[in-house]
Amino acid sequence: MKLLSKYNRINIGITIIVFLLGSVCFYFVLRYILVNQLDETLQSERQEILQYVKAHQQLPDIENTREQWISFEQSEVQPAKAFMQSHYAFNQHKHEEEEVRQYIFSLQVAGNNYTVTVNKSQEETEDLLQIIILVTIAMIALILLANFIINRKVLGRLWNPFYTTIAHIKDYHLSGKPSLTLDKVSTDEFLLLNESLNEMALRINKDYDSLKRFTENAAHEMQTPLAVIRSKIELMLQTSELKQIQMQHLQEIEDATSKLAKLHQSLLMLTKLENNQFILNEQVDLKKIIEEKIAEKQDLFEAKKLKLTITLEETKVSFHQHLAEIMASNLLNNALRYTAAEGSVTITLTDSHFIICNTAANGSLDTGKVFQRFYKPGNKQEGTGLGLAIVKEICLTAGFSIEYVFANESHKFIVGFK
Amino acid sequence: MKILIVEDEVVLNKSMVAYLGDMGYVCESVNNYNAALEKIDHYTYDCIVLDIMLPGGTGLQLLKYLKDDRKTDGVIIISAKDQLEDKLTGLQLGADDYLTKPFHLSELSMRIEAIIRRRNFNGQSVINAGNISVDITAKTVSANDSPIELTQKEFQLLLYLLINKNRILSKNAIAQYLWGDDMDFAENYDFIYTHIKNLRRKIVAAGGDDCIRSVYGMGYKLQAQ
């Protein structure tokens, strides 16, 4: 739910409660004041009657009206104390039940006890209640309407800088050259947000740069000693007095060095992929690349007497030339390595998929582990165990899908472009 | 043929001087930016082997200086920075080739030879060893003037052996040269043997000298005067 709606929900709820409570209080206060006024009129009525009785020693003859009527009743008992009360009574002038205010007091006229009841209609207070309810409902409706309009027109504009900021952050790439630069806005909160984000991006960029520099330098520092080792091996090979066993040692050292160099390169490649240091905006001709890679390895396929079935369609995807080469090469190497001699390899490229299928030597690979780093089925010593991990990472970077399927005694690697 | 080697790692620098010197090149070597600048200013080389990261500056700066000064020296960049941008920048700035560390010295000599050959317009494109001659431009091989039909890989292999003649090339170096970095080596050694066997058979059949020697089965060399 949007912050705005949440806020509105609370705001409107509380407003309605406050209005209802206010109306109730308002009603009681007004009623109290009106009744008080009625009471005062009743008091003065009593005074008038008392004065009349004092002067004339007889009950006054009083004209009753719609709003006020007085009754006299002779009573035997000693007069009770005067009191006022509100209760429902029948108004003969209006012919209906209504709430009336009564003042009941006793009176002595010529030795007789009379109970006098002065009634006054209290209908005005009921009218008041109705008006108050109407006003309250109207106010609540007005508040809802105002809120709706404000949300529609004003708040959308007020929050605009926030959504602009979000859009900028979404488009932000660490490997992109310029750091995040969010505009200055007039709202303090959004200004604070933008400034904080700018600072954060700057800090992250700095850290990222230093990490990148570190990786680059580490690569440099490690590959130079490897180059030294390799050059020394080559120079040693040229000395004429080497014995066979020494030659063999040298070859093994060289193989290990090559492996180390390759391992190092592969790890570096994985790091770069994870850091999104490649920008994939080239239109890459996959058919051409795959054809080239197959040609490069043609003699290796032939030497293993592998039966190649190649179906390549013209396919261009938004990708990275170098990464495309590595992907194709790694998958082909994989097929080369894990197909038994005289097996068959099927390479298919359509505009949606790149599929390499090869006959399996030893059953299915572990589906869960096949793309893991350093996974080598059957503890084979060849390879770095990083080839498929790199392929997977490349696919992830490019937004391609990659899948391993074992069917009909064949391994199948499927790269989906869409 | 004069070569300048600009590399700050002294041991590697010496190795290159030793290997290339043995091949008949006259090598001068420096290990920092300023010394390299001085050499470049005073002399002309057939090829400059240039490392990118140097004390006092970068190889790319040197390259730019060279090109701004309209020097015609051939340049091969050797770098540990396996950064595509560096490679592209280097080649854009006018480098002739780019080699990533760790490389084989035999591969380096191959590339240097190619650069020098390309730059010498009058230079012959035919290399002879014994009675075998290889025309690099036309990609033809003949023994005593009778042509030998070779596959592309066999031709590459012969050229590699020929340019590094009298040097032992390890199977590892040959595999890397023929199939590139991304292939595993131990697996390819049998294929190398097959290629060498076929190559020798074809040369001998055409009446050429059987000059390719296997050294303890660890490597190969082409023996020639």
Indicate the residue of A216, A223, A235 with minimum beta-carbon distance to B18: A235
Residue B15 to residue A231, Cβ atoms within 8 A: yes
Cα–Cα distance for residue pair A152/A329, rounded to 1 Å: 57
Indicate the residue of B53, B105, B191 with minimum beta-carbon distance to A234: B105
What pLDDT does A304 receive? 82
Token pair for residue B102?
A: 């760790």
Residue A261 to residue B102, Cβ atoms within 8 A: yes
User: Regarding beta strands A96-109 and A83-91, do their DSSP bridges make them parallel or antiparallel, or are they unpaired?
Assistant: antiparallel
What pLDDT does B123 receive? 60
Cα–Cα distance for residue pair A323/A49, rounded to 1 Å: 112
Percent over 90 (pLDDT), chain A: 17
Residues of A in contact with B83 (CB under 8 A): 216
Residue B15 to residue A226, Cβ atoms within 8 A: no
- Kindly report the CATH number that applies to the domain delimited by B126-222: 1.10.10.10
Chain B nearest-CA distance from A259, in A, is 8
What pLDDT does A360 receive? 83
* Interface residue B104 vs chain A (CB under 8 A): yes
What pLDDT does B83 receive? 63
- The pLDDT of residue A128 is above 80: no
- The pLDDT of residue A110 is above 80: no
Fold of domain A190-274: Methane Monooxygenase Hydroxylase; Chain G, domain 1 (1.20.58)
Question: Would you list the domain boundaries of chain A?
Answer: 3-154, 190-274, 282-416
- The pLDDT of residue A80 is above 90: no
Window B:23-42, CB contacts with A under 8 Å: none
Chain A nearest-CA distance from B65, in A, is 24
Indicate the residue of A224, A231, A265 with minimum beta-carbon distance to B105: A231
Strands (E), A181-229: none
Residue A219 to residue B80, Cβ atoms within 8 A: yes
Q: What is the mean pLDDT of residues A102-128?
A: 81
Which is nearest to B116 in space by CA: B173, B75, B153? B75
What pLDDT does B93 receive? 85
- Name the CATH superfamily, with its identifier, for domain A282-416: Histidine kinase-like ATPase, C-terminal domain (3.30.565.10)
- The pLDDT of residue A146 is above 70: yes
Q: CA torsion sign, A139 to A145 to A148 to A154?
A: negative
Which is nearest to B106 in space by CA: B27, B178, B203? B178
Q: What is the mean pLDDT of residues B89-109?
A: 88
* Interface residue B87 vs chain A (CB under 8 A): no
What pLDDT does A124 receive? 73
Weakest-pLDDT range from A9-18, A39-48, A117-126, A374-383: A374-383
Residue A224 to residue B12, Cβ atoms within 8 A: yes
Q: What is the mean pLDDT of residues A329-344?
A: 87
Q: Tokens 């009564």 map to which residue?
A: A102
- The pLDDT of residue A381 is above 70: no
Which of the residues A213, A215, A217, A224 would you substitute to probe the B interface, choosing the one with the greatest number of B C-beta atoms within 10 Å?
A: A224
Q: What is the mean pLDDT of residues A4-10?
A: 80
List pLDDT tens digits, range B174-189: 888 888 766 665 566 7
What pLDDT does A291 receive? 93
List pLDDT tens digits, range A163-210: 888 998 888 877 666 677 788 888 888 899 999 998 998 898 888 888
Which of the residues A175, A221, A230 would you substitute to probe the B interface, choosing the one with the greatest number of B C-beta atoms within 10 Å?
A: A230
Residues of A in contact with B168 (CB under 8 A): 237-238
Question: Would you list the domain boundaries of chain B?
Answer: 2-121, 126-222
DSSP string for chain B:
-EEEEE-S-HHHHHHHHHHHHHTT-EEEEE-SHHHHHHHHHH---SEEEEESEETTEEHHHHHHHHHHTT---EEEEEES---HHHHHHHHHTT-SEEEESS--HHHHHHHHHHHHHHH-TTS--EEEETTEEEETTTTEEEETTEEE---HHHHHHHHHHHHTTTS-EEHHHHHHHHH-TTS-HHHHHHHHHHHHHHHHHHHHHTT----EEEETTTEEEE---
* Interface residue B10 vs chain A (CB under 8 A): no
Residues of A in contact with B215 (CB under 8 A): 247
Chain A nearest-CA distance from B60, in A, is 16
Is this structure's pTM higher than 0.90? no
Calculate the CA B69 to chain-centre distance.
26
Calculate the CA B201 to chain-centre distance.
26
- Kindly report the CATH number that applies to the domain delimited by B2-121: 3.40.50.2300
Question: ipTM for the complex?
Answer: 0.85
Residues of A in contact with B214 (CB under 8 A): none
Q: What is the mean pLDDT of residues A110-126?
A: 81
DSSP A155: I
Average predicted confidence (pLDDT) for chain A? 84
Residue A251 to residue B219, Cβ atoms within 8 A: yes
Q: Which residue has the higher pLDDT, A328 or A6?
A: A328
Residues of B in contact with A322 (CB under 8 A): 84
Residue B103 to residue A230, Cβ atoms within 8 A: yes
A303, closest residue in chain B (CA to CA)? B191
What pLDDT does B79 receive? 82
